[in-house]
Structure 1
């Protein structure tokens, strides 16, 4: 049996989490055959997402440097320039940038890594951060 609001309308869909829409838009752009318009993205993301919301998300992603756009008549065509890992890294950096004590945040993060992730991080850093990760 379907659930309805008291006035007979369908219940509103759940509110998406922070960054979830960006990830969905970015995933749609990854599937695109090339540069695509915002309406194409809106159709792929689906649901009740307004065109203006898609444009806002694309503009935010452009400011973050994870998408690019090119003029196509009076509108733009959009293309992804970063993968999902790149977007996750941007979110991590945003969190780090919002904290007062970067060293404490990084140290706390490193102490929660698994041994495999710690090894991978050391390899990626060229073993320059070995002293900070020990202890």
Structure 2
């Protein structure tokens, strides 16, 4: 498994170091304990172009065979804001806004994501985009 690059602070936003925050999940040391933590670690995986982690944490019912290798080209993820998160048994949702820049122009992705827990692990299922 490829080791994620070291970063002084975690891309997902908390003032913690990457290693103490999302790094341990991306490196496979442990599974994300909840849906919000998984969503934050997936944001970090997008920011760091860690495609294997994204696929490994995507539920098999909706997971693509591969990610588009050009998907990350020119995108710089610059911030994450979790608006709300809720877990009900083995299902959860997380609403967030992820900010990015492409070619110097700012943009945002506002999504309500769905997650499920199977065999003690959380997986991303799908998301509904908001304007």
Query: For the superposition of Structure 1 and Structure 2, which TM-score range results when normalised by the shorter chain?
Result: under 0.3
Higher strand share: 2
Give the greater-gyration-radius structure (CA).
1
TM-score (structure 2 length as normaliser)? 0.23
Choose between structure 1 and 2 for higher RCO, CA contacts under 8 A separated by at least 6 residues: 2
Higher helix share: 1
TM-score (structure 1 length as normaliser)? 0.23
